[in-house]
Amino acid sequence: LPGPLAIQVGIWISYIRGGFWGAWAGGWAFILPNFIIVTALGALYVQFEGLPAVAAIFYGVSPAVIALILHSCYRLTKLGMKDWLEWALAAAAFAITVAVRAEVALVFIGCGIVGLLYYGSLFRGFRVGSTTSLMVGVPLVASGVPEGSFGALLGKLLVFFLKAGSLTFGSGLVIVPFLEKGLVQQTGWLNEREFLVAVAMGMISPGPVVITATFVGYLVAAQRASSLLGGLWGSLTSTIGIFLPSFLLILIVAPILVRYRQNPNVQGFIKGAYAAAIGTILGACVLLGKIAIGDWLTALVALGSLVVLFRWKVSNPLLVAATAIVGLIAFPLLKPEWVFVK
């Protein structure tokens, strides 16, 4: 099912132990500590964003984030990429993401349908509409939210992250290309630098990577409302949006899919969507890498981070802390003037 695996496991266990309401209580209890931590990080970032030290930290951290995404993508390929068609779909998704920057939802659905046709059989009477309807329907709602007020912005954030929460096939990292498309290219809510910061926050904080949505919601709403309270409403709205599909899918769709989990049509669609996830993540790395890597030092940090991750398997927070120190030392010495730090 789409959604962050850790949250889904927590919801499912809570459902088994406490029923319907137990699932809601257990799931949100799992999310709450992460929400508090990331919201606090968002408030600190908004408060101190203009300081040179903050720019220096993310000068060093951003190329490390690219390395972290690439390393995680490598691990995903080992888990789920089995045959030539999956690699072909991943390559197609990569090319589309980089060259065309097409709507990520359409890439997922298209690859899922190809997987369904190749691995499954439409003549067996099973349809996968229950897993795709949310992805197709949500964008139609987003277009109907009026412009202008702060309430309208919160409504747009909710709809946007409801859609995002239904697209995290395979790993929370799948959300990265989707968010880059929506937040930077389409809505302009964040610039490239702010988006990289948001991804970094999601990767170094406790909990699933999709907690990035909490930071994004805080940043977008705080900028619009020019207040910390506005940021809090934005982070709350975005958090509900990103995690609500997991609750609905686990409580409504999961019992049905458990019965049909061996169905070749279900497996085929998932394989195709999983391959699309790999391709779009790699494509997002290329796009973000052009922003994060702008000189010899950031290229060296990215390469060195990859070597460290593959050789010693250090934790994400430790790697980020080390590269932040590199940024703090190197930034005032090199005084880089390329686009990321302007």
Task: Write the pLDDT tens digit of every residue in 32-46.
Answer: 999 999 999 899 988
> Rounded to the nearest 5°, which phi and psi values hold at 226?
55, 40
Between vectors from CA 98 to CA 200 and to CA 71, what angle results, nearest 5°? 40
Predicted TM-score (pTM) of the model is: 0.74
Nearest to 59 by CA among 342, 289, 340, 285: 340
Between vectors from CA 60 to CA 54 and to CA 64, what angle results, nearest 5°? 125
Confidence at residue 1, expressed as pLDDT on a 0 to 100 scale: 63
Q: Using only the alpha carbons of the chain, give its radius of gyration.
A: 20
Please enumerate in sequence order all residues whose Cβ is within 8 A of that of 211, keeping only pairs 6 or more positions apart, or say none: 34, 35, 38, 202, 205, 239
Task: Write the pLDDT tens digit of every residue in 117-169.
Answer: 998 866 444 444 433 333 333 343 344 444 458 889 999 999 999 988 886 66
Task: Write the pLDDT tens digit of every residue in 178-224.
Answer: 888 889 888 999 988 888 888 888 877 777 788 899 999 999 999 88
Task: Write the pLDDT tens digit of every residue in 241-299.
Answer: 999 988 988 888 767 766 766 788 888 988 998 899 899 889 888 888 888 898 999 99
Average pLDDT, the chain: 83
> CB-hemisphere CA count at 13 Å for 251?
21
Confidence at residue 122, expressed as pLDDT on a 0 to 100 scale: 60
Nearest to 215 by CA among 202, 206, 226: 202
Long-range CB pairs of 144-150 (<8 Å, 24+ gap) are: 150/221, 150/224, 150/225, 150/230
